[in-house]
Amino acid sequence: MESFSSIISLLLSTIAVVISLYTYVIHDRKLKKQEHLLNMYHIKQFQNEEHANKKADIVGEISLLRGEHYSLKIQNRGRASSKNIRIEEFDIENYDIRKIVILPYNCLNAGEAFSLNIFRIRRSVPTMTITYVWDDDWDINRKKQQTIQLK
């Protein structure tokens, strides 16, 4: 009888060890998978941050000076410097840019801006569509089209 109880005790101990090892292995796999996903997320986040640090973002804001005279403030809202800033596809039938001699603009650091004076020729046109082109550390001849509502 004593040997039977020893066998049962040994069998129960073996089952407990096997279940513990199985649980540990399953739990370890889940942790490693979760750790891998977190590492991939951090790597992607780091790459996105690195890309953002190389990109400039050119935007324009319009404000009324007087009558049909407007000021177009072109600003770099990105993190990198923009170089060789140009305007393409500007509506020359309805608008006239004054002081065009400053384009292309040589360099615009992050957060900096410059202004252009614009005169609206036809009063019936309430919006202006502009395509900005610039170079930055990310790419050459990057483009952005913006439609601006006149105030």
Q: Report in angstroms the alpha-carbon separations of 44 from 48, 51, 73.
A: 6, 10, 34
Q: Which tens digits make up the pLDDT trace of 80-107?
A: 999 999 998 777 777 887 765 578 889 9
Torsions phi, psi for 16 (to 5 deg): -65, -40
- pLDDT value at 18 more than 70: yes
- For residues 20 and 15, give the distance between their C-alpha atoms in angstroms, rounded to a whole number: 8
pLDDT of residue 50: 95
Cβ atoms 149, 129 nearer than 8 A? no
- For residues 46 and 137, give the distance between their C-alpha atoms in angstroms, rounded to a whole number: 17
pLDDT of residue 67: 85
pLDDT of residue 140: 95
Given pLDDT bands bounded at 50, 70 and 90, which one contains residue 79?
very high
Chain-centre distance for alpha carbon 101: 32
The pTM of the whole model exceeds 0.95: no
DSSP assignment of 55-72, as one string?
Answer: ---EEEEEEEEETTEEEE
Pairing, β 69-76 against β 113-120? antiparallel
- pLDDT value at 23 more than 80: yes
- For residues 51 and 43, give the distance between their C-alpha atoms in angstroms, rounded to a whole number: 12
